[in-house]
């Protein structure tokens, strides 16, 4: 048993070295949901500028034998050390997951400017702007004790001095015990979206339908984006509530549907994508054929996807624009079409990171 | 290539050990040189030229001195050529942009920056080759006539990029003839694993705490968190740097070399004087041997000694980085060390509790100067340390990093070294070493976070 450490060390190095070289190449990682780097081709220029060795290193890392198991081992060790943070996700109280945000993305300040310019350009139209606070602002009691999370409400109050915002944080706060946000995902729940619906209807002077009258139903087994990033394997799945109102048609990306709900998506990796068939640059919803129709334009991120089905209670036609995929001219659209209401709705965190906000002005 | 990477530990190292094992004795140094050059040029092919220039200068100068022993003019010329050559290389790559920034600031000029990447390990190998020629000049060493052996010394991959600073004299014998026994190899493996896990499991983990504190910035954090952040940084830099040194020492042993120790539990010190005898010891002895003593050391009266200390600490600060804060950091230690020499040490020796408090506060404030390059942020940070602001943010960080903080604290003391010879403990430690290696591989694979602090020194 003498010198057992060095014998084991040499044996382990040899076994890993040989088995890794025999291990077949993997193009895609199901576990990490991304394409893995592969061994680069020989290229003298790439060697000299250093990119060849860099690519080779990432390939060796990505292709390393048992990669998923090693990563799981690390995640297990981290949580056994009492850490409540992994890959930028915080484990809060009662199993609520948060995205770790210590500071404001500087992009947000540019985006505030873009909204201000947009609002000045369309000052003759009825535009309502909502930046939805995320769960850390509405349910801070679920954050780990003492975590210095970025204060969204303070920033919203500051921005309100500069741009006209419909602030729905008080309304959300008043209902905050009602699970307005998913525990394992970055989105709000249908109940969260309903708070926004109620506030908007009141602001616009339209009739408010009750939550139950939308006949919501739930599906079980929802594990959201924060779960996938954190790899906290002890987190339990939650339920996802859906409403499926009657519509005549929903046209987007060259396809026409007769429903706003894609039940197929519930089986896949992104169950929230059930609403509006996910995110698309432009969508056109026809709710009913009436004589004097009421029309709505929503400029949005994915938060609005679960809100828009409720909007069918008050509008007959709804146009939906997602700046991330929309490549047309918004200003031209606004000149051609007339809308009774225009709603710009984004969640705080997605808004802060949004690199397409400038498209508002084109 | 850095040691704490998958490609190094699980590809380069096994190949290197295998090739060194099968290479016949007379070609071992040639193989070592070849492997070192592959290691060095990995990702930085262009900069290998500097390495060759550095080898050429010191090979020529040392042999020039050796060949003209009776001609003091010529030997002096060769010495000056070596010192000038090495310092020019170091200055050009490390300090040119810093100098340009200072000049632009002082004279409102617009001289463009060079934006050079600092060649790996340049601060270390220029010092090593320079001291070699100085030692030959002093007659302490005979110049090495064998270019391959000399090249292998300069490029020696285990200690090339982050020390310890090995002088030629320390490994001259092993360079010509080395014996590898299984016992020595095993000791090397053990030290290497301890170093690797210090870096991956302790330094990188606790470094995340300091990163968060720095991201929040001095205005948003409470005073307890400000201190906690510095504790985290202190642990990070210690386990990072000592981890690297241990990996180097361990690999040296695997290859048959005995490198000098670089750290000796610096955080148990009771004064700054003691700290600098325990921290980065090879740098301290380099400055003592090649700067402090040549300046006259303590032999020319107290005033001169204090002045010599100032020079040494100014240079030590500057060596750590081309930025004002590193110079301030050096001066800060000069002030503390000079005060200790003049009067403080006597008081400290009598009051251990006061000495420990003085040392801990002193070293943490020192780390703030080291870690924060922006002087405005630094001044805000220091005022946050001493102007109390309450808050609960520290609760989160102590609970999330609690276990790691305790582990860092424990491994900063000689606790393990004290218990390692107890009968029942020894097998447990052996098993833990094996486990640590496997865990380290898991962290290497999941190395989304793997910056190396001394990489660009």
A113-155 pLDDT per residue, tens: 999 999 999 999 999 999 999 999 999 999 999 999 999 999 9
CA distance B138 to chain A (A): 40
- The stretch A223-250 carries a mean pLDDT of 89
Token pair for A1: 């048993």
* Chain A residues within an 8 Å CB radius of B14: 13-14, 17
- Residue B268 confidence (pLDDT) above 80: yes
Can you give the pLDDT at residue A1? 57
Q: What interhelical angle do B223-255 and B375-386 show, nearest 10?
A: 120
A131 φ/ψ angles, rounded to the nearest 5 degrees: -105, 110
A124 and A209 together in one domain = yes
- The stretch A184-213 carries a mean pLDDT of 95
- Residue A216 confidence (pLDDT) above 70: yes
Element (H, E) at A34: strand A34-35
- The stretch B127-140 carries a mean pLDDT of 92
Provide the 10 A C-beta neighbour count for residue A85.
Answer: 20
Q: Which residues contact B436 (CB under 8 A, 6 or more apart)?
A: B193, B194, B196, B197, B201
Place of tokens 């996910």: A278
- Percent of chain B at pLDDT > 70 equals 98
Burial (CB count within 10 angstroms: exposed 0-12, middle 13-18, buried 19+), residue B446: buried
Query: What is the distance between the alpha carbons of residues B102 and B114, in angstroms, rounded to a whole number?
Result: 14
Q: Which residues contact B406 (CB under 8 A, 6 or more apart)?
A: none
* Chain B residues within an 8 Å CB radius of A9: 189, 193, 434, 437
- The stretch B333-346 carries a mean pLDDT of 93
Token pair for B430: 């052996």
Q: Output the furthest CA–CA distance in chain B (Å, rounded).
A: 72
Q: B170 or A34: which carries more pLDDT confidence?
A: B170
> Tell me, what DSSP letter sits at residue A340?
S
DSSP track, A78-95: HHHTT--EETTEEE-GGG
pLDDT by residue (tens digit) across A327-358?
Answer: 889 999 999 999 999 999 999 999 999 999 99
Judge whether B181 is closer than 8 Å to chain A, CB to CB: no
pLDDT by residue (tens digit) across B193-209?
Answer: 999 999 999 999 999 99
A48 and A143 together in one domain = no
* Chain A residues within an 8 Å CB radius of B437: 9, 12
Least confident of B113-122, B370-379, B406-415: B113-122
> Tell me, what DSSP letter sits at residue B343?
I
Which residues from A are below 8 Å from B when comparing CB atoms? 3-6, 8-10, 12-14, 16-17, 20, 47-48, 50, 53-54, 56-57, 60-61, 64, 67, 70-71, 73-75, 77, 81-85, 87, 102-103, 144-148
Judge whether B135 is closer than 8 Å to chain A, CB to CB: no
- Contact in structure between B105 and B97 (CB atoms under 8 Å): no
Query: What is the distance between the alpha carbons of residues A354 and A314, in angstroms, rounded to a whole number?
Result: 29
Query: What is the distance between the alpha carbons of residues A156 and A163, in angstroms, rounded to a whole number?
Result: 10
Place of tokens 């054929």: A289
Token pair for A92: 């809060």
Query: What is the distance between the alpha carbons of residues B229 and B234, in angstroms, rounded to a whole number?
Result: 9
Pair type for strands A217-222 and A341-347: unpaired
Judge whether B185 is closer than 8 Å to chain A, CB to CB: yes
Q: What interhelical angle do B352-371 and B375-386 show, nearest 10?
A: 150
Can you give the pLDDT at residue A290? 65
CB contact under 8 A, B400 and A70: no
- Contact in structure between A138 and A187 (CB atoms under 8 Å): no
- Contact in structure between B146 and B50 (CB atoms under 8 Å): no
B35 φ/ψ angles, rounded to the nearest 5 degrees: -60, -40
Sign of the alpha-carbon dihedral angle for B45, B46, B47, B48: positive
Test mutation, B218, B442, B443, B449, chain A, max A CBs within 10 A: B442
Q: pTM value?
A: 0.90
Strand, coil or helix: A287: coil
In a domain, A112, yes or no: yes
A208 and A339 together in one domain = yes
Q: Which residues contact A307 (CB under 8 A, 6 or more apart)?
A: A193, A196, A197, A345
In a domain, A116, yes or no: yes
Token pair for A187: 């989105």
pLDDT by residue (tens digit) across B8-44?
Answer: 999 999 999 999 999 999 999 999 999 999 998 887 7
Query: What is the distance between the alpha carbons of residues B337 and B335, in angstroms, rounded to a whole number?
Result: 6
In angstroms, the Cα distances linking A4 to A1, A16, A321, B422, B429 are: 5, 18, 66, 18, 12
Place of tokens 């590809």: B11
Quote the mean pLDDT of chain B.
Answer: 91
CB contact under 8 A, A9 and B189: yes
- Picking from A362, A346, A277, A350, the residue whose alpha carbon sits closest to that of residue A128 is A346
Can you give the pLDDT at residue A267? 83
pLDDT by residue (tens digit) across B153-209?
Answer: 999 988 887 879 999 999 989 999 888 888 899 999 999 999 999 999 999 999 999
Query: What is the distance between the alpha carbons of residues B86 and A240, in angstroms, rounded to a whole number?
Result: 67
Test mutation, B202, B223, B445, chain A, max A CBs within 10 A: B445
Token pair for B187: 């000791």
Candidates A4, A6, A102; nearest CB to B212: A102
CA distance A99 to chain B (A): 14
A218 and A114 together in one domain = yes
* Chain A residues within an 8 Å CB radius of B395: 145-146
Strand, coil or helix: B181: coil
Q: What is the ipTM of this complex?
A: 0.85
In a domain, A78, yes or no: no
pLDDT by residue (tens digit) across B293-316?
Answer: 999 988 888 999 999 999 999 999
Token pair for A6: 């060095």
3-state SS string over B220-283? CCCHHHHHHHHHHHHHHHHHHHHHHHHHHHHHHHHHCCCCCCCCCCHHHCCCHHHHHHHCCHHH
Place of tokens 């276990």: B403
Place of tokens 């790899």: A231
Candidates B11, B208, B439; nearest CB to A60: B11
Query: What is the distance between the alpha carbons of residues A74 and A89, in angstroms, rounded to a whole number?
Result: 15
A135 and A206 together in one domain = yes
Percent helix, strand, coil in chain B, to 5, is 75, 0, 25
Number of structural domains in chain A: 2
Residue A97 lies in domain: 93-361
For chain B, count helices (H), then strands (E).
23, 0
Strand, coil or helix: B318: helix
pLDDT by residue (tens digit) across A57-96?
Answer: 888 888 888 888 888 888 888 888 888 888 788 999 999 9
Token pair for B5: 């990477």
Among residues B68, B108, B280, B320, which one is catalytic? B320
- Picking from B19, B189, B444, the residue whose alpha carbon sits closest to that of residue A60 is B444
* Chain A residues within an 8 Å CB radius of B392: 145-146
Query: What is the distance between the alpha carbons of residues A18 and A21, in angstroms, rounded to a whole number?
Result: 5
Is there a cis peptide before residue B164, judged by omega within 30 degrees of 0? yes
> Where are the alpha helices (H) located in chain A, listed in sequence order?
4-22, 44-49, 51-62, 67-80, 107-121, 135-138, 152-160, 169-174, 190-204, 225-230, 308-311, 330-336, 348-353
In a domain, A82, yes or no: no
* Chain A residues within an 8 Å CB radius of B208: 85
Provide the 10 A C-beta neighbour count for residue A302.
Answer: 20
CB contact under 8 A, A82 and B430: no
Q: What interhelical angle do B393-400 and B204-216 show, nearest 10?
A: 170
Judge whether B186 is closer than 8 Å to chain A, CB to CB: yes
* Chain B residues within an 8 Å CB radius of A102: 212, 215-216
- Percent of chain A at pLDDT > 90 equals 65
B140 φ/ψ angles, rounded to the nearest 5 degrees: -75, -25
CA distance A136 to chain B (A): 15
Sorted by where each begins, the domain ranges of chain B are 6-178, 184-445
Can you give the pLDDT at residue B451? 36
Single out the residue in A23, A46, A65 at which a domain terminates: A65
A56 and A114 together in one domain = no
Pair type for strands A238-242 and A255-257: unpaired
3-state SS string over A234-271? CCCCEEEEECCCCCCEEEECCEEECCCECHHHHHCCCH
Token pair for B272: 């700054």
CA distance A85 to chain B (A): 8
Can you give the pLDDT at residue A79? 81
Using 50, 70 and 90 to split pLDDT, how confident is the model at A2?
A: low
In a domain, A76, yes or no: no
Q: B412 or B448: which carries more pLDDT confidence?
A: B412
Can you give the pLDDT at residue A38? 83
> Where are the alpha helices (H) located in B68-121, listed in sequence order?
72-90, 96-107
Candidates B182, B186, B395; nearest CB to A146: B395
Element (H, E) at B319: helix B302-320
* Chain B residues within an 8 Å CB radius of A75: 446
A46 φ/ψ angles, rounded to the nearest 5 degrees: -65, -35
A296 and A182 together in one domain = yes
Pair type for strands A295-300 and A341-347: parallel
pLDDT by residue (tens digit) across A264-283?
Answer: 888 877 789 899 999 999 99
Candidates B14, B17, B220; nearest CB to A148: B220
Single out the residue in A47, A65, A83 at which a domain terminates: A65
Query: What is the distance between the alpha carbons of residues A111 and A353, in angstroms, rounded to a whole number?
Result: 9
Judge whether B400 is closer than 8 Å to chain A, CB to CB: yes
- Residue B448 confidence (pLDDT) above 60: no
A201 and A344 together in one domain = yes
- Bridge partners (DSSP) of residue A341 are A296
Question: Does B351 qualify as catalytic in the annotation?
Answer: no
In a domain, A262, yes or no: yes
Can you give the pLDDT at residue B330? 96
In a domain, A110, yes or no: yes
Q: B428 or B224: which carries more pLDDT confidence?
A: B224
């Amino acid at each position: 048993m003498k010198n057992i450490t060095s014998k084991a060390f040499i044996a382990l190095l040899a076994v890993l070295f040989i088995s890794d070289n025999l291990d077949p190449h993997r193009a895609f990682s199901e576990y990490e949901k991304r394409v893995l780097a592969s061994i680069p081709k020989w290229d003298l220029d790439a060697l000299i500028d250093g990119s060849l060795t860099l690519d080779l290193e990432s390939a060796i890392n990505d292709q390393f034998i048992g990669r998923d198991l090693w990563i799981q081992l690390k995640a297990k060790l981290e949580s056994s050390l009492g850490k409540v943070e992994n890959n930028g996700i915080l484990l809060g109280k009662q199993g609520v997951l948060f995205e770790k945000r210590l500071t404001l993305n500087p992009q947000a300040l540019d985006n505030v400017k873009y909204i201000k310019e947009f609002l000045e350009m369309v000052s003759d139209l009825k535009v309502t702007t909502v930046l939805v606070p995320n769960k850390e602002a509405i349910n801070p009691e679920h954050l780990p004790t003492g975590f210095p999370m970025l204060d969204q409400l303070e920033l919203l109050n500051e921005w309100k001095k500069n741009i006209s915002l419909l602030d729905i944080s008080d309304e959300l706060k008043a209902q905050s015990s009602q699970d307005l946000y998913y525990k394992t995902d970055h989105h709000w729940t249908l109940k969260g979206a309903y708070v926004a619906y109620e506030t908007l209807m009141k602001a616009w002077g339209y009739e408010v339908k009750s939550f139950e009258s939308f006949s919501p139903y739930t599906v079980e087994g929802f594990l959201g984006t924060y779960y996938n990033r954190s790899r906290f394997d002890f987190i339990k799945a939650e339920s996802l509530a859906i409403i499926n109102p009657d519509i005549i048609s929903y046209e987007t990306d060259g396809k026409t549907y007769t429903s706003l709900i894609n039940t197929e998506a519930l089986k896949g990796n992104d169950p929230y994508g059930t609403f509006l068939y996910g995110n698309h640059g432009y969508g056109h919803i026809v709710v009913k054929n009436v004589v004097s129709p009421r029309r709505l334009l929503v400029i949005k991120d994915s938060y609005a996807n679960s809100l828009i089905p409720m909007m069918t209670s008050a509008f007959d036609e709804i146009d939906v624009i997602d700046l991330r995929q929309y490549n047309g001219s918004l200003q031209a659209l606004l000149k051609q079409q007339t809308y009774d209401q225009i709603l710009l709705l984004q969640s705080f965190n997605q808004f802060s990171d949004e690199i397409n906000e400038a498209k508002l002005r084109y | 290539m850095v040691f704490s990477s998958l490609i190094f530990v699980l590809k380069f190292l096994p190949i290197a050990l295998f090739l060194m094992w099968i290479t016949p004795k007379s070609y071992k140094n040639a193989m070592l040189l070849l492997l070192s050059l592959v290691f060095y040029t990995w990702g930085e092919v262009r900069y290998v030229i500097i390495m060759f220039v550095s080898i050429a200068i010191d090979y020529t100068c040392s042999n020039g001195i050796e060949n003209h022993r009776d001609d003091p003019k010529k030997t002096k010329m060769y010495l000056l050529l070596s010192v000038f050559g090495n310092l020019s290389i170091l200055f050009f790559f490390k300090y040119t942009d810093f100098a340009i920034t200072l000049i632009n600031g002082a004279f409102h000029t617009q001289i463009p920056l060079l934006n050079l990447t600092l060649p790996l390990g340049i601060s270390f190998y220029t010092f090593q080759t320079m001291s070699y020629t100085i030692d030959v000049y002093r007659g302490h060493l005979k110049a090495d006539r064998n270019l391959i052996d000399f090249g292998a010394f300069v490029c020696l991959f285990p200690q090339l990029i982050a020390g310890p600073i090995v002088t030629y004299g320390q490994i001259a014998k092993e360079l010509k003839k080395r014996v590898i026994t299984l016992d020595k190899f095993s000791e090397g493996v053990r030290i290497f694993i301890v170093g690797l896990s210090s870096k991956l499991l302790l330094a990188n983990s606790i470094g995340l705490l300091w990163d968060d504190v720095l991201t929040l910035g001095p205005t948003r954090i409470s005073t307890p968190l400000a201190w906690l952040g510095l504790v985290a940084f202190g642990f990070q830099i210690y386990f990072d740097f000592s981890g690297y040194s241990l990996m180097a020492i361990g690999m040296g042993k695997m290859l048959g070399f005995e490198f000098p120790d670089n750290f000796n539990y610096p955080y148990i010190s009771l004064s700054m004087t003691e700290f600098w005898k325990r921290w980065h010891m090879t740098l301290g002895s380099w400055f003592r041997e090649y700067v402090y003593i040549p300046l006259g050391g303590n032999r020319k009266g107290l005033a001169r000694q204090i002045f010599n200390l100032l020079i040494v600490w100014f240079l030590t600060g500057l060596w750590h980085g081309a930025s004002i804060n590193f110079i301030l950091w050096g001066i800060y230690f000069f002030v503390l060390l000079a005060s200790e020499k003049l009067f403080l040490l006597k008081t400290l020796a009598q009051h251990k509790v006061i000495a420990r408090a003085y040392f801990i506060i002193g070293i943490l404030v020192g780390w703030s100067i080291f870690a924060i390059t922006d002087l405005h942020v630094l001044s805000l940070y220091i005022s946050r340390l001493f102007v109390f602001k309450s808050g609960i943010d520290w609760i989160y960080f102590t609970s999330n990093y609690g276990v790691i903080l305790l582990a860092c604290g424990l491994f900063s003391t000689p606790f393990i070294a004290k218990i390692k010879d107890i009968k029942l403990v020894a097998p447990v430690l052996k098993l833990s070493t094996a486990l640590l290696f496997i865990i380290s591989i898991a962290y290497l694979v999941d190395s989304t976070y793997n910056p190396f602090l001394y990489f660009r020194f």
